[in-house]
A and B are shown apart, each in its own frame.
Chain A
Amino acid sequence: MSDHITEIVIFTILFLVVSGMGFVASRWRAPQDMAHLDEWGLGGRSFGGWITWFLVGGDLYTAYTFVAVPALMFGAGAAGFFAVPYTVIIYPLFFLILIRLWSVSHRHGFVTPADFVRTRFDSPTLALVVAITGIMATMPYIALQLIGIEAVLKTMGVTGESALARHLPIIIAFAILAAYTYQSGLRAPALIAFVKDTLIYIVILVAVLWLPYKLGGWNAIFDAADAKFQASPAPNDGILLNANNQVQYITLALGSALALFLYPHSITGVLASRNRGVIKRNMSALPAYSLLLGLIALLGYMAIAAGVKPLPGAKPGTVDSNTVVPILFDQQFPAWFTGVAFAAIGIGALVPAAIMSIAAANLFTRNIYKEYLRKDATHAQEANVAKITSLVVKIGAVACIVFLDPQFSIDLQLIGGVIILQTAPSVVLGLYTRWLHRGALVAGWVAGMALGAWMLWQIPNAATGRKHFGGSAFPLSEFGFDSTRTIYVGFVAVLANALVAVLVTLALRAAKVAEGVDGTVPDDYLADEGDPRIERERAGTVDNISST
């Protein structure tokens, strides 16, 4: 442990500075009345371009991503680089969708995507389905952020014999996080994101300039990776894709891109922005993070070139490939810089964890508590319930890591990406058309969830010897195709979902089943900041806006 003392000191200092900022954040851009979900859960819907850039960037590109993507490159090669096309596609794909969602949410005071679905399709049931899917997909994602911190702590030698001692630093870190999120709401991660991302950008720029110089240039790095994959017996690794994994590569990139802005925490970041222009400009500015992610992915190859050996995993005989990047830094850089890099990853976990817990809390409050438990809840009660829920969510995430095999969280997160996609027909198509019947959307969701779960269950992982949940690449031969190709599970599941939704819509319409009343009008999807209709309402009764 003494070899790492400088790293631990710097890590701790930066962590404490950031925690202090988290508490101070409640006074940053302070509202008159914090006891309102718009304030606690959406930062007053007032964030401009820069804050949104840091907030959403810090939210989408999580610590886990920064650790897991290079780990995937280290293990599998080119297939891990899907993160780049994935994060290129997101922005043009959602450019038009998000501004419509922002506008309709602005005019109706929606806090969650489920709020929108409820009003659009006049269906609390469909909203409940969307809310539960969101919460289920988010919970393991929060737990994964802890794995990011743990990889760093492990490399610094902060481990103990018993499960409790090993997890104590994480429990303390999350207790602090929970306290300032409770107090400051979305303002805390927004403020911390500035520090986190500045640290990450500096660390990565230094790493990608210095390491290739030290390791003999980019040519040598790629050749070292090539040599490793040539020598390995695994059929689908290599520095290029092969005939079998190309369909998987593009369907995974496309499916992941479609899923990303359906995650409640992404939508929370978007709805917190001030106007449509902020969102549109960020669609051009956020790809800076994609470039960062692409360079971070290549750290996996640098680890190969530097001869990094990952630390052993939780079970004997396995390796924890998430430790390759921390070890690379530990080996190649002076201790103080490694400390900064580790702090960047550690703090990098706090920002998304905070936003995710806020998003899950918003969903519970708006679409379960207010809908089913207490219909006449005041704004202050809503804010209070959300604050308490955010604590419960974090305790749940810590419990997942402490008491369960971390692999369980990784499996759940894999499933999370597939299930959150199943809300796409209701949320994304719903922004454009009300043609689909509310009952059909529920039926489509059931079909997509069932097919997705079944497919994931079927996938073995040869490398770890597991029979189920071995990945998201489904062999087409299972469907009876004469092929060795694989395809992304979520992509197939959401296609099935949409197909069922269309067919059941036709059936329900033929049977003349009631469709409910659309609570929105076409102009709602175009409203912008300073919208005359909202200004009028604000001048009149204040309370009308967000009680839908």
Chain B
Amino acid sequence: MAEPERPRTDRSPWNWLLLVPIVVPLLTFLYNHDEPRLAGFPLFYWLQLAFILLGVGTTTLVYQMTKRNRGRS
């Protein structure tokens, strides 16, 4: 797809989403508890492991939404 020459930018409102997986893992009050346990894991452990999925989901979403649709130049 031929695109007219315009100044490139890597700014996007989607990038703000990246703050979510940076801030959430730092909120100890969310996960510093034993109950409820999941498959024997105290909340502290399973919820923090679940934050990995939150991180992956967010970076994937931001990547897809900000991908430049440029043809080979």
Which positions in A face B, CB cutoff 8 Å? 78, 81, 84-85, 87-89, 91-93, 95-96, 99-100, 212, 217-222, 239-241, 246, 249-250, 253-254, 277, 280-281, 283-284, 287, 290-291, 294, 298, 523, 525-526, 528, 530, 532
Known contacts: A239-B44, A280-B63, A530-B73. The answer to whether A246 contacts B32 by CB under 8 A is: yes
User: In the bound complex, do residue A84 and residue B73 qualify as a contact, i.e. CB atoms below 8 Å apart?
Assistant: no
User: In the bound complex, do residue B55 and residue A92 qualify as a contact, i.e. CB atoms below 8 Å apart?
Assistant: yes
Known contacts: A250-B28, A281-B63, A298-B45. The answer to whether A91 contacts B55 by CB under 8 A is: yes
User: In the bound complex, do residue B60 and residue A221 qualify as a contact, i.e. CB atoms below 8 Å apart?
Assistant: no
Q: Which label, helix, strand, loop or mixed, suits the secondary structure of the B interface?
A: helix
Nearest Cβ in chain B — how far from A255, in angstroms?
A: 11
User: In the bound complex, do residue B73 and residue A222 qualify as a contact, i.e. CB atoms below 8 Å apart?
Assistant: no
User: In the bound complex, do residue B49 and residue A84 qualify as a contact, i.e. CB atoms below 8 Å apart?
Assistant: yes
Residues of B contacting A87 with CB < 8 Å?
52
- CB of B1 within 8 Å of the partner chain: no
Nearest Cβ in chain B — how far from A527, in angstroms?
A: 9
Which single member of B8, B21, B40 contacts A88 (CB below 8 Å)? B21
User: In the bound complex, do residue A240 and residue B42 qualify as a contact, i.e. CB atoms below 8 Å apart?
Assistant: yes
* Sample of 18 A–B contacts (CB below 8 Å): A81-B48, A85-B25, A88-B21, A88-B52, A92-B58, A100-B10, A219-B37, A222-B41, A222-B42, A246-B32, A284-B63, A287-B52, A287-B55, A294-B52, A526-B8, A530-B72, A530-B73, A532-B73
Q: Bound complex: CA of A290 vs CA of B21, how far in Å?
A: 14
Residues of A contacting B9 with CB < 8 Å?
526
Known contacts: A96-B10, A100-B10, A526-B10. The answer to whether A84 contacts B18 by CB under 8 A is: no
Chain B 45-73, CB within 8 Å of chain A: the 1/0 string?
10011011011101110110001100011
Q: Which label, helix, strand, loop or mixed, suits the secondary structure of the A interface?
A: helix
* Supplied contacts A78-B44, A95-B15, A284-B56, 7 more A-B pairs, CB within 8 Å: A85-B26, A89-B22, A92-B21, A281-B63, A290-B55, A526-B8, A530-B73
Nearest Cβ in chain A — how far from B43, in angstroms?
A: 9
Q: Bound complex: CA of A455 vs CA of B30, how far in Å?
A: 30
Residues of B contacting A91 with CB < 8 Å?
21, 55, 59
Residues of A contacting B59 with CB < 8 Å?
91-92, 95, 280, 283-284
Residues of A contacting B67 with CB < 8 Å?
277
Which positions in B face A, CB cutoff 8 Å? 7-10, 15, 18-22, 25-26, 28, 32-34, 37, 39-42, 44-45, 48-49, 51-52, 54-56, 58-60, 62-63, 67-68, 72-73
Q: Bound complex: CA of A91 vs CA of B39, how far in Å?
A: 28
Residues of A contacting B58 with CB < 8 Å?
92
Top-4 shortest CB links A-B: A218-B40, A85-B25, A219-B40, A92-B18
Q: Which residue of A lies closest to B72 (CB)?
A: A530
Q: Which residue of A lies closest to B55 (CB)?
A: A88
User: In the bound complex, do residue B72 and residue A240 qualify as a contact, i.e. CB atoms below 8 Å apart?
Assistant: no
Residues of B contacting A92 with CB < 8 Å?
18-22, 55, 58-59
Q: Bound complex: CA of A18 vs CA of B28, how far in Å?
A: 42
Residues of B contacting A290 with CB < 8 Å?
52, 55
User: In the bound complex, do residue A89 and residue B34 qualify as a contact, i.e. CB atoms below 8 Å apart?
Assistant: no
Q: Bound complex: CA of A241 vs CA of B32, how far in Å?
A: 6
Q: Which residue of B lies closest to A290 (CB)?
A: B52
Residues of A contacting B10 with CB < 8 Å?
96, 99-100, 525-526
Known contacts: A284-B60, A523-B8. The answer to whether A240 contacts B52 by CB under 8 A is: no
Q: Which residue of B lies closest to A84 (CB)?
A: B48
Residues of B contacting A85 with CB < 8 Å?
25-26, 48, 51
Nearest Cβ in chain A — how far from B44, in angstroms?
A: 6
Nearest Cβ in chain B — how far from A204, in angstroms?
A: 14
Nearest Cβ in chain A — how far from B5, in angstroms?
A: 11
Nearest Cβ in chain A — how far from B54, in angstroms?
A: 8
Residues of B contacting A96 with CB < 8 Å?
10, 15, 18
User: In the bound complex, do residue A89 and residue B26 qualify as a contact, i.e. CB atoms below 8 Å apart?
Assistant: yes
Residues of B contacting A95 with CB < 8 Å?
15, 18, 59, 62
Residues of A contacting B72 with CB < 8 Å?
530
Residues of A contacting B34 with CB < 8 Å?
239-240
Nearest Cβ in chain A — how far from B32, in angstroms?
A: 5
